[in-house]
Amino acid sequence: MNVGVAGLGLIGGSLAKAYHSGGNFVYGFDIDESILSFAKLSGAIDGVLDASSVKLCDILLVAVNPKDAVEYIENAAPDIAKHTLVIDCCGIKRHICEKCFPLAKKYGFTFVGGHPMAGSHKGGFKNSRENLFKGASMILVPPVFDDAALFGRIEELVKPAGFGHLTFTTAEKHDEMIAFSSQMAHIVSNAFIKSPSAGGHKGFSAGSYKDLTRVAQLNAQMWTELFMKNSDNLINELDIFIKEISRYRTALAEDNGARMTELLKEGSQIKERLDR
């Protein structure tokens, strides 16, 4: 198949490599000409994605920041063929889908919101790899939920990426859940590392420190955009977290060991139940 990938960072570069390794013809685009050239020289892409080649694509994957994704699809829309499936790879869905579903309807192609649940704190094309999505979940927001043919077409076109599971949901549910499962984790990690004690962690830290701080190092501009576009859901999760964490502080301040034990058991039991 012919595949278009717009944005050749960690996600887009990994998608390009995965599709290319599966024998597909991959067209790529990146605003950074040096990355585009390197992607072609390294064999990740076969040609440049432009107004001419986008017409040939069976699937177009847009892996750039949300505001850039909408702008890219708006500009490319007149040239996208009616048979093309367009999927964005952004971490928020309401904002993207509100803009892109009407565009797809206007120009006759199919748009599906997407969010590959894999990544790394080290971004960029140089850190991309063809097996990044192997076994990972791909969240998808289709325009309708009663079209079996569309679902089958989506599954077939994303198969070369290597996803282990496809999760179909609404844009609203995606943003609600991702505020908890992803965005909160980044905020907590980023805030935790600001302790003055962090500077002396070497020799005193092990797996728990590494697990909790892994995503503290992030692309501040990109994550700010994701947070601000999902502020209602994220504020709700922050309020819950602040309420819960204050209970641990109160137990410590009151020297209440029994209450602390109760809180710890409660959290441990919830984790055990969720992992069954």
Torsional sign, CA 238, 215, 15, 40: positive
Domain span holding position 36:
2-169
152 and 228 belong to one structural domain: no
Distance CA 5, CA 59 (A): 9
Task: Tell whether 128 and 56 lie within a shared domain.
Answer: yes
Q: Is the domain of 181 the same as that of 113? A: no
- For residues 224 and 88, give the distance between their C-alpha atoms in angstroms, rounded to a whole number: 18
pLDDT digits (tens, 9 = 90+) for 201-213: 999 999 999 999 9
Where residue 160 sits, what CATH number does that domain have? 3.40.50.720
Same domain, 6 and 132: yes
The pLDDT score that the predictor gives to residue 121 is: 73
Spatial contact of 48 and 25, defined as CB atoms under 8 Å apart: no
Report angle CA 95, 101, 104 to the nearest 5 degrees: 135
135 and 264 in one domain? no
* Assigned token pair, 176: 């609600």
Question: Total structural domains in the chain?
Answer: 2
Distances (CA, A) of 34 to 7, 14, 69, 77, 202: 13, 17, 20, 26, 37
Q: Is 272 left (phi over 0), alpha (psi -120 to 50) or beta?
A: alpha
Please identify, among 153, 169, 185, the residue that sits at the C-terminal boundary of a domain: 169
Residues 69 and 187 placed together within one structural domain of the fold: no
Task: Compute the distance between CA of residue 28 and CA of residue 50 in angstroms, rounded to an integer.
Answer: 8
Distance CA(32)–CA(34), nearest Å, equals: 5
User: What's at 126, amino acid-wise?
Assistant: K
Give the residue from 169, 192, 219 where a domain finishes. 169
**DSSP annotation of 228:** H
Model pTM?
Answer: 0.93
Whether residue 247 sits in one domain with residue 114: no
Sheet strands side by side (includes 165-168): 47-48, 25-29, 2-6, 59-62, 85-88, 110-116, 137-141, 165-168
Residues 250 and 153 in one domain: no
Contact 210, 52 (CB under 8 A): no
Q: What per-residue confidence (pLDDT) applies to 264? A: 98
CA 47 distance to own-chain centroid: 25
* One-letter amino acid of 240: I
Residues 124 and 48 occupy one common structural domain? yes
Q: Give the CA-trace dihedral at 76, 80, 86, 88, to 10 degrees.
A: -10
Residues 29 and 97 reside in one and the same domain: yes
258, 237: one domain: yes
Residues 187 and 269 in one domain: yes
pLDDT of res. 119: 78
The 8-class DSSP code of residue 53 comes to G
CATH number of the domain enclosing 253:
1.10.3660.10
- Among 109, 137, 169, identify where a domain stops: 169
Mean pLDDT by 10 residues, the chain (276 residues): 97 97 97 95 95 98 95 97 97 97 98 92 88 96 96 97 96 98 97 95 92 92 95 98 98 98 98 95
Write down the pLDDT at residue 55. 97
